[in-house]
Structure 1
Amino acid sequence: MINAEDFRNNSHIGMIAAVKFMVISEFNAYKTSVAQLIRQILSPVLYFIFLAQGLGALISKISFLGNDVDYKTYVFFGIFAYILINFFSESIYRTTVDKRYGLLAFKLQSGIKPLYYVIGGGIFSAFSMLCQTLILFMVAVFFGIKVHITLYVMAVLFAIVSLYFWRSLGVLIAIGIKDYRTRDLIMTFGVLPLSFAAPVFYSLDHSPLLIKLVASVNPLTYQIQAIRSIAFGKYSIFNIGISLMITIVTILITNVIINKLNISLTER
């Protein structure tokens, strides 16, 4: 059994080296699952083509923060929710594998501090998100969606910041998972409700009270509303502030818990 605090406190590996190690590790993991990478890229595009375009033919405008906006554009940015939640699932999956086969302990013992594990493990995901949002942007423009490029870039950058909330939460949940069955249950009954409860296709402005209550406890709600507010140039300080706060708090909590965790290299 490894004394977690001892080797982490005595580690001398630098941040750049640790993050580089994590990026290479994640890249190698992705290389073994090309189909998964293709799915991550194509899924948002298919959501937009078949759902946004289909519903957009029936609904022209929707209320957002008291203003009427184009429905297709509204849903276009709502699809970012599915991108974020997919990375949440990926974070749980990757960390569970790392923990179960001793890779998490090996990385930490090698001098990768918990904060570097979280940040470095999310960089390749951030790059993947950039690719997804770029392709999604080109498809949206092809279908006639008008997007302000500067605001879109700002929205994507904010989405990457939000990604680290889900990265941290995924790590936090995964370190408490004992087997793959528990992981699958969490991903089935936790991930799907989060994505469906977020205001991706509907507006909170005129939703029933119950829907508003459910959405209010969903972190994805604040993140998507913040992303939309940036993209539409409305800048909801409330949603942006909540999103940033929960991201910072979750990263700090994950860092503290992993620091206190004793992990075996031979865990099964």
Structure 2
Amino acid sequence: MRSLILTKYHFASLWNWRSTYLGRFIEPVAYLLFLAASLGSHLREPTGGYGTFVLTGLVCLLSFRAATSSMSDVSNDRKWGVYAIYSLSGGGSLGYLLSVVLFALAVFLCQLVMLVFFGLLIFGEGVSSVNQALATSGKGLLLVGGWTGIGAAVGARVHSYSTRDFLVTITSLPVILAAPLFYPIDDSSGFVFYVASLNPLTYQVGWLRDSDPSTILFSALWAAAALLLAFFMLRGAERVSSER
């Protein structure tokens, strides 16, 4: 129950951080309207159509962005005493983490609905079938849960805003651009090929596009491992950070 109450306050914070969250909703639509729509007319048609290809890529992008959001939420909660107050009221690290994950999943589902809507406007009915959309959203929820855990772990341990900002800056572009989110990279060679082979999004977007049931297991293992890491990081962290 405490987790649900705290989740309610996470939703209430949407208004205080409305500009930030507005940007989170605008970014994937901007990628879809401008980058994807432009690339779609120049790339060789992938299996299943470019609309489905880019939609799964954007779902993967949204899951990765959840890490940045949860990192900010956790660091702010520790900075301003929200995590400490929750702990003093009888809440534990697991309940707190659950509230962060529930909020992230709800935001993701809203983003996904909006993406599918604009995807249908641009690419028509070729975006995806109902079954494929459900499978993508299910695995997407697991990926979001995992990346939320990664962000929470960083927010629990890194007390410096400048350090967190540096981590986001040096990882975002290489991770996003060196993965087949908007374009195939099968024929890439050299530096991009090696970066892509180390890039978790390369494998995760593959899970989203593959109908093999084993990809659900891989997604679940990713979520479990990342959330377990976040739990131990939060449990061992100070309730109030030294950051000011």
Query: Is it true that 1:119 corresponds to 2:98 in the alignment?
Result: yes
Q: Is the 8 A contact 1:89 1:191 kept in 2?
A: no
Once residues 199 and 243 of structure 2 are traced to their aligned partners in structure 1, the CA distance between those partners, rounded to angstroms, is 33
2:221 alignment counterpart: 245
Query: Is it true that 1:216 corresponds to 2:192 in the alignment?
Result: no
Query: Is it true that 1:75 corresponds to 2:54 in the alignment?
Result: yes
How is 1:93-104 mapped onto 2 (pairs within 5 angstroms)? 93-104=72-83
Q: Is the 8 A contact 1:215 1:221 kept in 2?
A: yes
2:114 alignment counterpart: 135
Deviation at 1:55, TM superposition (A): 0.8
2:28 alignment counterpart: 44
How is 1:113-192 mapped onto 2 (pairs within 5 angstroms)? 113-143=92-122, 144-146=124-126, 147-192=128-173
Q: Is the 8 A contact 1:226 1:236 kept in 2?
A: no
Name the Cα RMSD after superposition: 2.2
Deviations 1:62-107 (A, max 9, x none): 3xxxxx3322321222111321222111111111111222222222
Deviations 1:43-73 (A, max 9, x none): 21111111111111112413xxxxx332232
For structure 2, the residue ranges without an aligned partner over 5 or more in a row are none
2:11 alignment counterpart: 27
Q: Is the 8 A contact 1:96 1:174 kept in 2?
A: yes
The amino acid across from 2:223 in the alignment is T
Q: Secondary structure at the match of 1:69?
A: coil
The amino acid across from 1:42 in the alignment is I
The amino acid across from 1:243 in the alignment is S
Query: Is it true that 1:255 corresponds to 2:234 in the alignment?
Result: no
Q: Is the 8 A contact 2:157 2:237 kept in 1?
A: no
Q: TM-score, normalised by structure 1?
A: 0.81
Once residues 203 and 240 of structure 1 are traced to their aligned partners in structure 2, the CA distance between those partners, rounded to angstroms, is 22
Once residues 190 and 243 of structure 2 are traced to their aligned partners in structure 1, the CA distance between those partners, rounded to angstroms, is 46
1:61 alignment counterpart: 45
- Seen in structure 2, the aligned counterparts of structure 1 residues 22 and 220 have a Cα distance that, compared at 3 Å, is farther
Once residues 30 and 108 of structure 2 are traced to their aligned partners in structure 1, the CA distance between those partners, rounded to angstroms, is 16
- Seen in structure 2, the aligned counterparts of structure 1 residues 265 and 83 have a Cα distance that, compared at 3 Å, is closer
Q: Secondary structure at the match of 2:157?
A: coil
Q: Secondary structure at the match of 1:175?
A: helix
Q: Is the 8 A contact 2:157 2:233 kept in 1?
A: no
Once residues 172 and 85 of structure 2 are traced to their aligned partners in structure 1, the CA distance between those partners, rounded to angstroms, is 29
The amino acid across from 1:82 in the alignment is L
- Seen in structure 2, the aligned counterparts of structure 1 residues 57 and 266 have a Cα distance that, compared at 3 Å, is closer
* Greater fraction helix: 2
Identity %: 24
1:89 alignment counterpart: 68
Which has the larger Rg? 1
Q: Is the 8 A contact 1:115 1:251 kept in 2?
A: no
For structure 1, the residue ranges without an aligned partner over 5 or more in a row are 1-16, 63-67
